[in-house]
Chains A and B, each alone.
Chain A
Amino acid sequence: MFIDYYIILSVALFCIGIVGVLTRRNAIIIFMCVELMLNAVNLLLVAFSKMHHLTPPKKELAAVAGTDGQIFVFFIMVVAAAEVSVGLAIIVMMYRNIHSVDVNFLNRLKH
């Protein structure tokens, strides 16, 4: 099945994202990795949505078949955009306060 390729691709993207989040210390790179993970999920959603509606259940539904998964994707993209703006603002504030974007310096929550 050709869906397998999409799954493998998005799993690969997701794993890259996780590994990036876990291993990198630069806040901006971690942020990018999070975006990567989100987009891996988006890709998967579009792929599954298309796969499950190759043949529409009814003739009248042919125009909208396979679009519900894609609506999710748009939703995620909007939320992600909002999140990016908040996240970048935090990173900017962080840089202003400690002159660094290294997350390992941010361990004051412990105390």
Chain B
Amino acid sequence: MNKILVVDGITKEYPGRTAVSNISFEVLKGSIHGFLGPNGAGKSTTMRMIAGLMPPTSGSMTLFGETIHPEKLALKNMIGLLPENAPLYLDMPVEKYLTLVARLHKVKNVRDKVDKVMSDLNLLEVRKRLIGNLSKGYKQRVGLAQAIVYDAPFLILDEPTNGLDPQSVVELREFIKNLAQDKTILFSTHVLPEVEQLCDQITIIHQGKIRASGDLKEIHRKFRQGLVLKVGVRADETLPDLSELGKYEITHEHIVGQEKQYDLVFEADLDCRTEIGKLVLSRGLHLLTLQVESPELEDIFLHMTELKK
């Protein structure tokens, strides 16, 4: 796949602090790239730099092969940004505002385009209302509408579902998924299940440094620390000795309701579920759970951001 965005060794320094330090990552064409990090990790700063709203102290960024620079006016129609605080004129009606944005980007057939975007984002019923009088969910949709009204092929969405009600979140996620059919999206969020649903590529940033970047499945594989087998028997039973199957270690043991669960790690990532099943049943025990545990994105994220002690 083509690289749409290449961030190469970007550093952003403010007096007395470094917001991001020597970060590098790539965004592939047609992907939804999740940008994860705790508050203050440097996500918004990085996204604003990519959008050309602030300069990096050092390093370079290229988008569609062109170095990002505010003087390159042609690039500005290629990037749609929904920042954390959407740039909304609260004293303007929705339709007028979107028309202004479309005209600023010299969109052809402004009326058709604005109508289509309003229809796609269910804004038609509020088209004449002042943006300042709308609910947070609608304001967020107007913010997203301004980012897509001029059909930019690369979208940067900074926590687009933040603070929305569950129904709006589901609708917006679905909409973002559909957008990815012909656009590339860099997308930051705190909601990790959202990343697993939407993204195929991720970058984890913490304290201004990149902790992991690449294909989500690859990162899962990379951070799987030994193959964990979860075996569950009845709470009043005990797991028999499994040494005949290979050298192993019980990493965790706990009772969940009527079940006693064990996390086992065999040497050389041995997946001996069939043998375990046979052995447990042959001892007349009740096998309630037998599965391979892969680490959740949340575990990887917490591990990466050193929040898990």
A binds B: no
Q: Which residues of B does A touch, CB under 8 Å?
A: none
Q: Which residues of A does B touch, CB under 8 Å?
A: none
